[in-house]
Amino acid sequence: MKKYATGQIRNIALISHGGAGKTSLAEAILYTTGTTNRLGNTGAGNTTTDFDPEEIKRQITINASLAPCEWKGAKINLIDTPGYFDFIGDVISSLRVADGAIVTACAVSGVEVGTEKVWSYAEENHLPRLVFINKMDRENANFQGVLAQLQEFFGLGTVPVQMPMGSEDDFQGVVDLVRMKACVYQEEGGLKFAEEEVPADLQEQAREYREKLIEAVAESDDELLMKYLEGEALTDEEVTEGLRKGVLQRKIFPVLCGSAAKNLAMQPLLDFAVSCLPSPADVGIVKAARAPQGEEVELKVDSQGPLAALVFKTLADPYVGKVSYYKVYSGTFKGDTQVYNPIREVNERIGQIFLMRGKNQINVDEVAAGDIGAVAKLGDTATGDSLCDKNNPVTFSPLEFPDPVISFAVEPKSKGDEEKVGGGLARFTEEDPTFRVKRNTETKQTLISGMGDMHLDIIVSRLAKKFGVDVNLSTPRVPYRETIRSSAKAEYKHKKQSGGRGQYGHVYVEVSPKARGEGFEFEDKIFGGAVPRQYIPAVEKGVRETIDNGVVAGYPVEDLKLTLYDGSFHTVDSSEMAFKIAGSGAFKKAVEQASPVLLEPVMDVEVTVPEAFMGDIMGDLNSRRGRIQGMDSAQSLQVIRAQVPMVEMFKYAIDLRSMTQGRGFFTMEFSHYDEVPANIAEKVVEAARKEKEEE
């Protein structure tokens, strides 16, 4: 691949709801541009961008993948992104480095929830975009219906620049509404077409669409608007230039159509992408922060400037090692050099650099400003880090990923594989910022968290394939607590005589409840030396050790005060160990008499849903023993605030997605501990008793 200047590069993300045909579109573009010599197919598992075994097996995109190609003097870096919510992290990082996007919509399914989501992400990143209505060859394809949906959801700025000629089996090509020419495909494969006059039966519809296009174009430019209002006709060149301005200003979102699977209408799509979507030079200036001071600086996207690049994706492979994908914002990224990572404050040695096309590496000497490249085996650099000139250290604002929404406990099927599991999971956290691993010391479980059950299912599958270790997933244990509701006194005498020196420790204690969240307090009220001073710390130690293992069901006891107020000792047989045992025994007896109860963690939950789902969501939260705390509006959405026991929330992400057709999302954080209802507490205690017996 030849070298391209910054102004000749187009970084374009393909985004959509899952199943709309992004990967097929990438494949058709690669074939049309001559980058590949055959048209790959997701069903056959031979596409360029879906190369992971899990992607081939499931026929979905899991990882964002790069596919550079060349078209009419421009280099297009296609970024094929996942369409399913479980892999939204790769969409977020891809849109950060894209300069434009092609939103793919299915001609049959229309605007789906994923379409809305990716549109909002593209808007947050200020990305100009085209819309491609795919699958025009499918049964029940409906261009007009999908266009109406696009305008309903995303505004009248979504205007067609093409209309289809026929549909379903009769789909033959498209009408270019800018030049009012028909593009008719002449043979299977989509590489040959002829330009013809618009057929008579389509002329009226084409004129209507063109008039809407001219209106939108005129509104993007004051001079064109004046000309339009004065009744003058706009030339094709003026329409093309106005269209580009409107797209760059994000006032116009051109709508095109075709069939990626049959490779029909790719050439006009590529022409529009190159002429309307911005190059990095059009973006011009990128904001960064001077390291380590943090003051804002503006970087000009220029190959002659100081080096500044952002690592936006990491691939971890047990054989190749770590591959870091980066976008160069300033300067030129060269192989066999040293660069500086200001976040880790380390120098990184750069070896061979390359471009990625799917899984294939294309070796290059340098990557210019605005372009996207990759490098292997960086020591400390992670996703979101910057790589720059040490004399001009800058950082970019961090990539912000959503918090995981579902967690499972993970354990190896075979004993002794713990280290392999830990190593594999650590690699996956490097690769995927939406995947988290943590060890819960209280429940003694390793927890993995992700964006959905499919996300974690794929992690488990990759653990087996890449690292040769099988694991079991289970619902995490709930970190219950125990406490008391009343005060009680207890006496405990530890006395043992079995030849030689005996053991003697004798204490009187009182336990009393404290307010929730106040923890444990030990008070010494011994007078007159009933328990010698040197043994009082041993009593406290015995109590504190027992607290961790509870009395009701083996969970830690909290929010109580224990007062040591009397006791006795033996001048020969008393010892620290004896008083430690006595303290433990007295604590247990007192707690058993003080109305002990089980506490459960309660979470603060915020659920954001369209208004139509409010009733269902509130009813569901109530069924989970939730308490509604209030509601707020957020644009067209409703935010429900509630407090819900943790045990009821483990699979809420799956249920919420089902109840809201994928339109709802939630956040959750720990709030406080609260008493478990008696009927549920009985089951928890019984389960704890059985587990103890099995041990």
* CA atoms of 61 and 59, how far apart (whole Å): 7
**pLDDT of 517 strictly over 90:** no
The amino acid present at 286, given as its one-letter code, is V
Report the pLDDT averaged over residues 632-657.
Answer: 91
pLDDT at 527: 85
In a domain, 689, yes or no: no
Q: What does the pLDDT average to over 108-136?
A: 95
One domain, residues 551 and 612 = no
C-beta separation of 167 from 136 below 8 A? yes
Considering 282, 302, 330, which residue would you say is the last residue of a domain? 282
The pLDDT > 90 percentage for the chain reads 80
Say if residue 448 is in the same domain as residue 351.
no
- Rounded to 5°, angle at Cα 493 from 491 and 498: 170
Distance CA(353)–CA(323), nearest Å, equals 10
Same domain, 24 and 131: yes
Across the strands, what pairs with 492?
A: 507
φ and ψ at residue 571, rounded to 5 degrees: -65, -25
Using H for helix, E for strand and C for coil, what is the string for 21-66? CHHHHHHHHHHHCCCCCCCCCCCCCCCCCCCCHHHHHHCCCCCCEE
Q: Is residue 114 part of a domain?
A: yes
Give the position of tokens 């699979």: 651
**What's the token pair of residue 478?**
């709930």
150 pLDDT higher than 80: yes
Domain assignment of residue 115, yes or no: yes
CATH number, position 443: 3.30.70.870
User: Which range is least confidently modeled, 79-88, 548-557, 583-592?
Assistant: 548-557
- Which of 445, 477, 448 lies closest to 462 in space, CA to CA? 448
Q: Please report the pLDDT score of residue 221 as a whole number.
A: 80
Residue 688 lies in a domain: no
Report residue 27 as tokens: 């494949």
| Residue 695 confidence (pLDDT) above 70 | no
**Are 256 and 162 a contacting pair, CB within 8 Å?**
yes
Assign residue 332 the CATH number of its domain.
2.40.30.10
Examine the domain organization and report whether 615 and 550 are in the same domain.
Answer: no
Q: Would the pLDDT of 320 be above 80?
A: no
**Of the ranges 222-231, 307-316, 625-634, which one carries the lowest mean pLDDT score?**
222-231
| Distance separating alpha carbons of residues 373 and 387, to the nearest angstrom | 12
Q: pLDDT value at position 149?
A: 97
- Tell me the average pLDDT across 228-238: 82
Distant-in-sequence, close-in-space partners of 159: CB < 8 Å, separation ≥ 6: 209, 212, 213, 216, 252, 253, 254, 255
In a domain, 687, yes or no: no
Could you tell me if 579 and 505 are in contact, meaning their C-beta atoms sit under 8 angstroms apart?
yes
CB 416 within 8 A of CB 469: no
pLDDT in tens, 262-285: 999 999 999 999 999 999 999 989
Write the single-letter amino acid at 202: L
Q: What is the mean pLDDT of residues 462-488?
A: 93
The three-state DSSP-derived secondary structure of 394-436 is EECCCCCCCCCCEEEEEEECCCCCHHHHHHHHHHHHHHCCCCE
Q: Residue 132: which pLDDT band, with cuts at 50, 70 and 90? A: very high
**310 in the same domain as 198:** no
Average pLDDT over residues 614-634: 94
- Confidence band, pLDDT 50/70/90 cuts, at residue 500: low
| DSSP state at residue 165 | E
Neighbouring C-alpha atoms within 13 Å toward the C-beta of 529: 2
**pLDDT score for 663:** 87
DSSP-assigned letter for residue 6: G
What average pLDDT is seen over the chain? 93
- The three-point CA angle 308-313-315 to 5° equals 130
Q: What is the pLDDT of residues 680-692, one digit of tens each?
A: 999 999 988 888 7
Residue 150 shares a structural domain with residue 269: yes
Tally the domains of the chain: 5
Please say if the pLDDT value at position 23 is more than 70.
Answer: yes
pLDDT of 222 over the 70 cut: yes
CA distance readout (Å), 379 to 322, 346, 347, 349, 366: 9, 9, 9, 8, 20
Can you name the residues that pair with 524 across neighbouring β-strands? 564
Q: Are residues 499 and 380 in the same domain?
A: no
Final residue belonging to a domain, choices 249, 282, 315: 282
- The model's pTM is 0.88
pLDDT at site 141: 95
Paired strand residues for 163: 175
Phi and psi angles of residue 692, each rounded to the nearest 5 degrees, phi first: -65, -40
Write down the pLDDT at residue 571. Answer: 86
| Residue that finishes a domain, picked among 367, 395, 423 | 395
Do 429 and 523 lie in a common domain?
no
Q: Are 30 and 48 in contact (CB under 8 A)?
A: yes
Give yes or no: residues 433 and 466 share one domain.
Answer: yes
pLDDT at 662: 86
Confirm whether 690 is domain-assigned: no
Closest by Cα among 589, 586, 561, 590 to 505: 586
Using only C-alpha atoms, what is the Rg of the chain?
33
Residue 350 and residue 451 share a domain: no
Position 227 scores a pLDDT of 82
The verdict on 135 and 220 lying in the same domain is yes
Within a domain: 1: no
pLDDT value of position 499: 64
Compute the distance between CA of residue 225 and CA of residue 228 in angstroms, rounded to an integer. Answer: 5
CATH of the domain at 40: 3.40.50.300
Q: Which residue in this structure is represented by tokens 């590529």?
A: 270
153: which residues sit within 8 A by CB, 6+ positions away? 111, 115, 116, 119
Q: Are residues 206 and 313 both part of a single domain?
A: no
Tokens of 221: 């430019």
Plot region of 62 (φ>0 → left; ψ -120 to 50 → alpha; else → beta)? alpha
Q: Are strands 173-176 and 162-165 parallel, antiparallel or unpaired?
A: antiparallel
Show Cβ contacts of residue 120 under 8 Å, excluding neighbours closer than 6 positions: none
- Residue 501: domain span: 482-594
* Residue 695 domain flag: no
